[in-house]
A = this chain, B = another copy of it.
Amino acid sequence: MIKLDKIDHAILDTLQKQGKLSNVELAEIVGLSESACLRRVKNLHEKGVVTHYAAHLDAKAIGLPGTVFVRVSLEKQQEERLNAFEEAVKDVPEVMECYLMGGDVDYMIRVVVKDAPDYERVHNILTRLPGVARVHSSFALRTVLKRTRLPLQKS
């Protein structure tokens, strides 16, 4: 794990909130000169702490207001089956997150959709992925909170 001092934390915390901030503004916020600030940001990239920058869209504005949590159980828990499913699920663009779970369910998936009929389409895709035995869907009625800013405490 990479050592991060207080200024690094300030940089990361700020860039998580305002990724498009100019370097001069960022430098002023964290209390560094432009060059020193830019070097630290670059370093955080090279060390892999910052993976990438992304514009975030309003899901409603582009016609994808729906969120569905899908729990997928596979037929067998063989290694090759897991890989086949995992590779296949990456090709479904509506799938935003996928986690291998402990407990009675194999995968937890978050899917974005236009509406209920649109989810039927995605549902059919998911049930046909390799190794899938059961698919259990839970619709979200409303998004209460969606955050991209990871908490940066003292490590």
- Which of A28-36, A46-54, A127-135 is the interface stretch? A46-54
Shortest distance from the beta carbon of A10 to any chain B beta carbon, whole Å: 13
Shortest distance from the beta carbon of A11 to any chain B beta carbon, whole Å: 9
Which residue on B lies nearest to A86, using beta carbons? B144
Bound together, the chains give a CA A53 to CA B19 distance in angstroms of 5
Identify A99's interface contact among B47, B67, B103, CB under 8 A. B67
Q: A63-B1, A95-B147 are in contact. Are A54 and B138 (CB under 8 A)?
A: no
Contact of A49 with B58 in the complex, beta carbons under 8 Å: yes
Contact of A62 with B86 in the complex, beta carbons under 8 Å: no
Q: A56-B148, A101-B138, A150-B62 are in contact. Are A19 and B16 (CB under 8 A)?
A: no
Q: A19-B52, A53-B53, A69-B108 are in contact. Are A150 and B59 (CB under 8 A)?
A: yes
For residues 22 through 72 of chain A, which have their beta carbon under 8 Å from a beta carbon of chain B? 47-64, 67, 69
Contact of B19 with A151 in the complex, beta carbons under 8 Å: no
Shortest distance from the beta carbon of A90 to any chain B beta carbon, whole Å: 6
Contact with B along A101-120 (1 / 0, CB 8 A): 11101011010100000000
Bound together, the chains give a CA A24 to CA B136 distance in angstroms of 46
